[in-house]
Structure 1
Amino acid sequence: MVDEISAMRAIAHPVRLRMLSLLTGTAMSAAEVARELDLTHANASYHLRLLADAGELVVDGEEKIRGGVAKRYRYPHERDLAPSEPGTPTRPSAPAAYLRALGKELERRSRSRAASTQSLSSDLEGWVDEDTWKEALELLMSAARLLHERNRPPRTPGTVHVSATSVAFRMQDDQ
């Protein structure tokens, strides 16, 4: 099993973050990922293997293609969106490299923002009571589960292209 810090390092790259999002709604081969993200096949294969080796992707079948075998990868989002019991260890704080990659990915996505559509932008560093924090965290987890579970392959008829990012955590007191 890969340690959590290695897994966080593996996802701390804008292309790999895009792959995780893409592979939430469907399993895809390296060739399909390469076409969708406009990458070379070799580049897509490299990043997919790195994510799989870090435990961030699972192989979800294989298919024969021109005498070879292509693995189909998917992101097991249900693992990361399961609520943890109080007192159980959580992932370590996101390393700076991951947060930088996330910021770059948000910048890229924001350039594709549809004009005149409903959206939300929110930021807070504040103080709330424990019950409010628990309720807010449950609502965010519920929204994340909903979007991940209902995510579909790119350009599926009847779907819209969306972006949703949540980073919420309890902070240490300044004392």
Structure 2
Amino acid sequence: MSDTDPVLRALAHPLRLRMLTLLWPGPMSAAELARELDISHALASQHLRRLDAVGLVELVEERMRRGGRERRYRTVHGSPLSDQTEGAPLLAETLAHTLRQRAARRAPHSAGVTVDAELWLDPETWDAARQRLADLAADLHEAARPPRTPGTVPIGLSMMAFRMRDEPSETRSEAELT
């Protein structure tokens, strides 16, 4: 994995992916992230440094707090997640991990949307649908508020939609499947 793009490597860790989500609506410190994620301050700082090193977060505020300096970061908007093609399997694994965690936290009897599809579409339909999905994600991110803001509810959203290669999938015989 040493040849893997450093941005992709940073994105491919579930905690860092969650941090980016939490930092999207506004800045947070490592201490605030640690409390929200139920991890140590040291671990939150380590992951935050990694995100900062590859340019996925930016320092927006530095202030004195309890005799020390508190640094607050936010996600750099325009995340490159959608542009990762070589690392798609790695990102899919991270998203799957995150989705499993979020699904376990689903509110009982709450409305949601679940979709799994492998579809054949004409290119124009796909381009229009992809743009609508990107716009929807942008709208939701724009409406996001910091964690636990009064009057808000936590929402889980994991989405990966992409064009696949046009090649037949390998089929296995019935004997191999049993």
Instruction: Please provide the CA RMSD for this pair.
Output: 2.0
Distance 1:10 1:128 in 2: 33
What does the per-residue CA deviation read over 1:22-51, in whole Å, with 9 as the maximum and x for residues that have no partner? 111120011111111111111000000001
Report SS of the residue matched to 2:69: strand
Aligned to 1:65: 65
Q: Which amino acid aligns with 2:79?
A: D
Larger radius of gyration: 2
Report SS of the residue matched to 2:63: strand
Aligned to 2:110: 117
2:55 equivalent to 1:55: yes
Report SS of the residue matched to 1:71: strand
Aligned to 1:18: 18
What does the per-residue CA deviation read over 1:85-139, in whole Å, with 9 as the maximum and x for residues that have no partner? xxxxx43333433322211111000001012222111111121011110111111
2:73 equivalent to 1:80: no
Aligned to 2:147: 154
Aligned to 1:97: 90
Report how far residue 80 of structure 1 moved.
2.9
Distance 1:165 1:68 in 2: 37
> Scaled by the length of structure 2, what TM-score is found?
0.85
Report SS of the residue matched to 1:10: helix
* % same residue: 43
> Scaled by the length of structure 1, what TM-score is found?
0.87
How many correspondences in the alignment? 165
Aligned to 2:100: 107
Instruction: Provide structure 1 residue ranges, at least 5 long, that are not aligned to the other structure.
Output: 84-89
Q: Which amino acid aligns with 1:36?
A: E
Deviates more, 1:90-99 or 1:140-149: 90-99
Report SS of the residue matched to 1:22: helix
Q: Please list, as runs of the form range in 1=range in 2, the aligned pairs for 1:110-149 lying within 5 A after superposition.
A: 110-149=103-142
2:60 equivalent to 1:38: no
Looking at both structures, which has the greater relative contact order when contacts are Cα pairs under 8 Å and sequence separation is at least 6? 1
